[in-house]
């Protein structure tokens, strides 16, 4: 079995344990794990679909395919022809995409300078070489077969203008390189909004060679349901579908119905978005008053913060206050002096964190 690097979150465990010794308990702002209720419309759909003894379809029910298609047209601005495919959450697709596309051996996968660790793991599992976009060899590597982009960025919350994203797509197309866009935070724009790679402003209405990965984990609090999907180039989607048929990678039937309900209802998504906005409006000024500088963070589920010190020193100092954050080093060497702060704690815990941060501001 191929040797894998250590799971990054295991390195944070001792400091998380330290935070839990705080008299008021820990405030976990380290992972983007939803804590709010699953919307009633989704729970009802799951319950109604509980008696489904037969094998589900890999491509999803007709209703689910229609819901995915409609959502992509509505939220991503997609036009023309594109394929859709449900996935068992988005992480398994991120980890498995290079291998599923047949990328391995001497091929190269490019990932963002600061990146969700699973992009690199996916290249590793496929046996491919992985480079970050700040690597000088990136633009001249003739072995490049896949480029990952991620906007709004995890961890930084950075947004990329449509014209810059279009340059990436056009450059890759002329070289036969697939561009995969992780858009899990697309609808969480605060100061700026991100344009999808499927928007005609980026792709010209042509989805050839491009894929967009989406998740319902944050939008609908469905991390526990493992509900996601991928959309884009019909030929690439067809190939992924065929592979997943053979491998038995199928979203459970009750979850397919729950996902259909979630994609078809925007009221709960708007309500959840406002919860995140409210928490962001409390946490950002609290960290700034405590001596942190917030960079980027125009969109998405996180604040990207620094005190211009080693990230592990910052994590340790916050753990002393019972606050757990993610060290920026998890996302690449460029994050060594930053921490990532999630907006996913409940309202009471967010208020507790803001109160504790006043100790640093004094």
HEC secondary structure over the chain = CCCCCCCHHHHHHHHHHHHHCCCCCCEECCCCCCCCCCCHHHHHHHHHCCCCCCCCCCCCCHHHHHHHHHHHHHHCCCCCCCEEEEEECCHHHHHHHHHHCCCCCCCEEEECCCCCHHHHHHHHHHCCEEEECCCCCHHHCCCEEEEEEECCCCCCCCCCCHHHHHHHHHHHHCCCCEEEEECCCCCCECCCCCCCCCCHHHHCCCCCCEEEEEECCCCCCCHHHCEEEEEECHHHHHHHHHHHHHHCCCCCHHHHHHHHHHHCCCHHHHHHHHHHHHHHHHHHHHHHHCCCEEECCCECCEEEEECCCCHHHHHHHHHHCCEECEEHHHHCHHHCCEEEEECCCCHHHHHHHHHHHHHHHC
Query: Where in the chain are the domains?
Result: 8-30+268-361, 52-265
What is d(CA 240, CA 13) in angstroms, rounded to the nearest whole number?
36
CATH topology of domain 52-265: 3.40.640
Helix-helix angle 347-361:267-289, to 10 degrees? 10
Residue 162 burial (CB count, 10 A)? 16
8-30+268-361 is classed CATH 3.30.70.580:
no
Which pLDDT score, from 0 to 100, does residue 1 have?
A: 45
Q: What is the pTM of this model?
A: 0.94
Strand 326-327: give its sheet, edge to edge: 293-295, 302-306, 338-342, 326-327
The phi, psi pair for 177, rounded to 5°, reads: -100, 135
pLDDT value for 139: 67
- pLDDT means per 10 residues in the chain (362 residues)? 73 92 96 94 97 94 98 95 96 96 92 95 94 71 92 96 95 95 96 96 97 96 96 98 95 97 97 97 97 96 97 97 96 96 96 95 68
Tell me if 331 sits within 8 A of 341, measured CB to CB.
no
- The C-alpha atoms of residue 58 and residue 250 are separated, in whole angstroms, by 5
Predicted confidence at residue 142, as pLDDT, reads 83
Tokens 């068992």 appear where?
88
User: CA of 13: how far to CAs of 19, 42, 255, 305, in Å?
Assistant: 10, 33, 31, 21
Q: How far is 327 from 233, CA to CA, in rounded Å? A: 36
Radius of gyration of the chain (CA): 20
Q: What angle in degrees, to the nearest 10, is found between the helix axes of 62-75 and 253-263?
A: 30
Question: Which residues lie closer than 8 Å to 271 by C-beta, 6 or more apart?
Answer: none
**8-30+268-361 and 52-265 agree in CATH topology:** no
């Amino acid at each position: 079995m191929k040797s894998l690097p250590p799971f990054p979150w295991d390195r944070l465990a001792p400091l998380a344990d330290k935070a839990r010794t705080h008299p008021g308990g820990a405030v976990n702002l380290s992972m983007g794990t939803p804590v709010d209720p699953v919307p009633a419309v989704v729970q009802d759909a799951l319950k109604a679909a509980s008696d489904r003894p037969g094998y589900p379809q890999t491509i999803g029910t007709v209703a689910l395919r229609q819901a995915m298609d409609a959502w992509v047209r509505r939220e991503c601005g997609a036009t023309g022809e594109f394929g859709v495919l449900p996935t068992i959450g988005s992480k398994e697709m991120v980890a498995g995409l290079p291998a599923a596309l047949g990328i391995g051996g001497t091929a190269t996968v490019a990932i963002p300078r600061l990146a969700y660790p699973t992009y690199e793991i996916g290249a590793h599992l496929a046996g491919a070489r992985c480079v970050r976009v700040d690597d000088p060899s990136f633009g001249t590597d003739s072995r490049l077969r896949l480029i990952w982009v991620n906007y709004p960025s995890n961890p930084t919350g950075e947004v990329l203008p449509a014209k810059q994203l279009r340059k990436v797509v056009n450059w890759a197309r002329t070289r036969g390189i697939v561009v995969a866009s992780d858009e899990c935070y697309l609808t969480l724009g605060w100061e700026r909004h991100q344009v999808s790679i499927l928007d005609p402003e980026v792709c010209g209405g042509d989805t050839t060679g491009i894929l967009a990965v989406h998740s319902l984990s944050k939008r609908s609090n469905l991390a526990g349901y493992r509900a996601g999907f991928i959309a884009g180039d019909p030929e690439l989607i067809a190939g992924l579908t065929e592979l997943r048929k053979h491998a038995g990678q199928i979203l459970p039937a009750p979850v397919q119905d729950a996902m259909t309900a979630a994609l078809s209802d925007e009221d709960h998504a708007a309500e959840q978005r406002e919860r995140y906005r409210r928490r962001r409006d409390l946490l950002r000024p609290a960290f700034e008053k405590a001596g942190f500088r917030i960079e980027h963070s125009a969109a998405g589920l996180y604040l990207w913060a620094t005190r211009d010190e080693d990230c592990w020193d910052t994590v340790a100092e916050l753990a002393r206050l019972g606050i757990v954050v993610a060290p920026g080093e998890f996302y690449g060497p460029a994050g060594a002096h930053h921490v990532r702060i999630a907006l996913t704690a409940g309202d009471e815990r967010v208020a507790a964190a803001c109160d504790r941060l006043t100790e640093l501001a004094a």
